């Protein structure tokens, strides 16, 4: 077996595949005394050479990284999610499942088997840990060992084969709002909402129809609404059957915002707004209400993710960078349009807020970015240009502040951890992984969230590389 020589399998993006523990990690600086818990994140780390050499980085096997922090010390655990896919492929000694979400490209021996890679995000809710992939059901993981417990269906209540990688928790009620798209059959336009109580009980499911079948990667939650930005990253079943990409960008269809009331029966009352042109929501910061106004804060690009999923109408189109926008909808007006303004004038992605203040108007916005005033861009990888910085926007002062990680260094998604349960908004730490590309190594870096420019308070050094990841969480008190 050998990996293809493409950007997905080369250099800092190459599969790592090593599962293990490092018990006493080297620490430069001082881990804050009050920081006790685990930073747990998911990544896509191909365990086998892909069936198709042009495979996407989105299609790797879920590999979880956990940095356990207690009493100023840190420990690393890395472990694959033992999906049915990984087990079948390990037994065969080679890949059996084909292209991203396309079962028509699989080896005949695995027809009908679970394709879940469980590679996108982590969820801690109701005292359980899950690895999430939007194409499949949650996989429960043992938080102590990262051992895979198995596919989770909420005691039989999950009536969907899919579950988002971006559920939202309402910090005021503790309720988790999640959803699945392509609920009944692959490439249908049914979105199903799941309301999950603080104790983990799935109490209510409600479905509604999207305007067309497309990738619905993230969502927004305000006090009274769940909001979906439906973007024309469409799933064209004829193309999937023909072995083409699972998604295509088709900007002849509109970007639409579906606003679903959270009260019982709300999905029947979904209200649609239409964007002036087709754009793509990448990830969301937050939503909040101000009288009849509904504010949606998210990263938006003027194209789809063309490096992964081609433009149907214009194969030569180039991918555009994300900027943070606030879209303001007036629920008291009959208009189907909305007002759009940039929140700050700098590219970014991987948005983060202080989660204790979700659904309220927040002051602090964090994100991954590059800033050529601080250092040059890094060579483009499979996900586009790697970040060189983390950014912080203070909406009260209008100030932008950056952590520049160094000339060969690439920070990843930032995670916010409050200094204490009752600290004011933004008072706490920002945690991220940082790629040290020249050394083929990774660090976990801790910053003062309101003073990124001061540089790390602690750098937790790994003796090796862990694969670039997608989304992580902080689990307070987790060993």
**Chain residues in the site for ligand V55 (CB under 6 A):** 44, 58, 119-120, 134, 217, 470
C-alpha pair distances (Å), 270 with each of 216, 256, 262, 280, 337: 16, 12, 10, 20, 15
Minimum CB distance to ligand V55, residue 134 (Å): 6
Say if residues 178 and 160 touch (Cβ distance below 8 Å).
no
The β-bridge partners of 404 are: 389
Smallest distance from the beta carbon of 274 to ligand V55, in angstroms?
A: 24
Q: Smallest distance from the beta carbon of 70 to ligand V55, in angstroms?
A: 30
CB of 156 to ligand V55, least distance (A): 26
Nearer to ligand V55, 120 or 229 (CB): 120
CA dihedral 247, 251, 253, 256 (to 10 degrees): 90
Query: Looking at beta carbons only, is 338 or 366 nearer to ligand V55?
Result: 366
- CA separation for the pair 443, 369 (Å, rounded): 18
* Minimum gap (Å) between residue 109 Cβ and ligand V55: 24
Q: Kindly tell me which of 217 and 467 has the beta carbon lying closer to ligand V55.
A: 217
What is the closest distance, in whole angstroms, from the C-beta atom of residue 215 to ligand V55 in the complex? 6
Mapped onto helix, strand or coil, the DSSP state of residue 103 is helix
Looking at the Cβ atoms of 44 and 139, the one nearer to ligand V55 is 44
* CA–CA distance, 179 with 183 (Å, rounded to integer): 9
- Closest distance to ligand V55 from the beta carbon of 304 (Å): 11
Rounded Cα distance between 349 and 370, Å, is 10
Which is closer to ligand V55, CB of 382 or CB of 391?
382
**What is the smallest separation between the CB atom of 465 and ligand V55, expressed in angstroms?**
19
| Residue with Cβ nearer ligand V55 (298 or 436) | 298
Pick 193 or 235: Cβ nearer ligand V55: 235
Residue with Cβ nearer ligand V55 (8 or 452): 8
What's the min distance (Å) between Cβ of 223 and ligand V55? 27
CA angle 408, 416, 64 (to 5 degrees): 65
Candidates 191, 193, 190; CA nearest to 178 is 193
- Minimum distance from CB of 305 to ligand V55 (Å)? 8
Pick 44 or 76: Cβ nearer ligand V55:
44
**Kind of pairing between the strands at 256-261 and 271-274:** antiparallel
Alpha-carbon gap, residue 117 to 57, rounded angstroms? 12
Instruction: Determine the Cα–Cα distance for residues 197 and 414; give it in Å rounded to an integer.
Output: 27
Task: Give the HSE-up count for residue 353: Cα atoms under 13 Å, Cβ half-sphere.
Answer: 25
Instruction: Return all residues near 98 (Cβ < 8 A) that are at least 6 apart.
Output: 50, 51, 52, 104, 105, 106, 107
Which CB sits closer to ligand V55, 120 or 183?
120
Contact 374/402 with Cβ under 8 angstroms? Answer: yes
Radius of gyration (C-alpha) of the chain in whole angstroms: 21
Q: What is the Cα–Cα distance from 383 to 324, expressed in whole angstroms?
A: 19
307/208 Cα distance (integer angstroms): 30
């Amino acid at each position: 077996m050998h990996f293809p020589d493409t950007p997905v399998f080369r250099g800092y993006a190459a599969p790592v595949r090593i599962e293990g523990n490092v018990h006493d990690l080297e620490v430069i600086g001082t881990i804050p005394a009050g920081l006790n818990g685990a930073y747990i994140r998911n990544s896509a780390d191909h365990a086998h050479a892909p069936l198709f050499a042009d495979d996407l980085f989105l299609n790797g096997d879920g590999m979880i990284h956990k940095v356990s922090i207690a009493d100023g010390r840190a420990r690393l655990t890395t472990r694959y999610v033992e999906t049915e896919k990984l087990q079948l492929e390990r037994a065969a000694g080679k890949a059996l499942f084909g292209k991203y979400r396309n079962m028509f490209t699989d080896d005949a021996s695995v027809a009908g088997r679970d394709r879940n890679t469980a590679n996108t995000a982590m969820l801690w809710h109701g005292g359980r840990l899950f690895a999430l992939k939007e194409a499949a059901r949650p996989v429960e993981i043992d938080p102590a060992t990262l051992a895979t417990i198995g596919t989770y269906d909420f005691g039989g209540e999950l009536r969907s084969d899919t579950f988002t990688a971006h559920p939202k928790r309402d910090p005021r009620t503790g309720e988790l709002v999640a959803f699945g798209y392509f609920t009944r059959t692959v490439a249908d336009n049914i979105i199903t909402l799941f309301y999950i109580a603080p104790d983990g009980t799935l109490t209510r499911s409600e479905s509604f129809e999207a305007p067309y079948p497309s990738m619905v990667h993230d969502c927004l939650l305000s006090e009274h609404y769940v909001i979906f930005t439906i973007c024309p990253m469409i799933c064209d079943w004829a193309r999937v059957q023909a072995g083409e990409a699972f998604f295509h960008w088709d900007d002849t269809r509109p970007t639409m915002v579906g606003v679903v009331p959270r009260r019982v029966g709300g999905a029947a009352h979904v209200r649609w707004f239409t964007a002036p042109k087709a754009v793509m929501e990448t990830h969301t910061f937050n939503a909040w209400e101000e009288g009849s106004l509904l504010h949606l804060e998210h990263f938006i690009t003027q194209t789809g993710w063309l490096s992964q999923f081609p433009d149907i109408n214009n194969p030569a189109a180039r991918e555009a960078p994300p900027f943070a926008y606030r879209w303001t909808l007036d629920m008291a007006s009959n208009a189907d349009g909305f007002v759009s303004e940039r929140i700050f004038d700098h590219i970014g992605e991987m948005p983060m807020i202080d989660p204790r203040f979700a659904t309220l108007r927040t002051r602090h916005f964090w994100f991954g970015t590059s800033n050529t005033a601080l250092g040059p861009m890094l060579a483009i990888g499979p996900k586009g240009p790697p970040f060189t910085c983390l950014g912080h926007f203070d909406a009260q002062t209008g100030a932008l502040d950056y952590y520049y990680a160094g000339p060969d260094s690439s920070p990843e998604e930032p995670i916010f951890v409050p200094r204490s349960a009752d600290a004011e908004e933004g008072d706490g730490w920002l945690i991220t992984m940082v790629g040290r590309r020249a050394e083929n190594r990774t660090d976990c870096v801790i910053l003062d969230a309101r003073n990124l420019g001061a540089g790390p308070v602690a750098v937790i050094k790994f003796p090796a590389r862990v694969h670039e990841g997608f989304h992580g969480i902080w689990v307070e008190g987790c060993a």
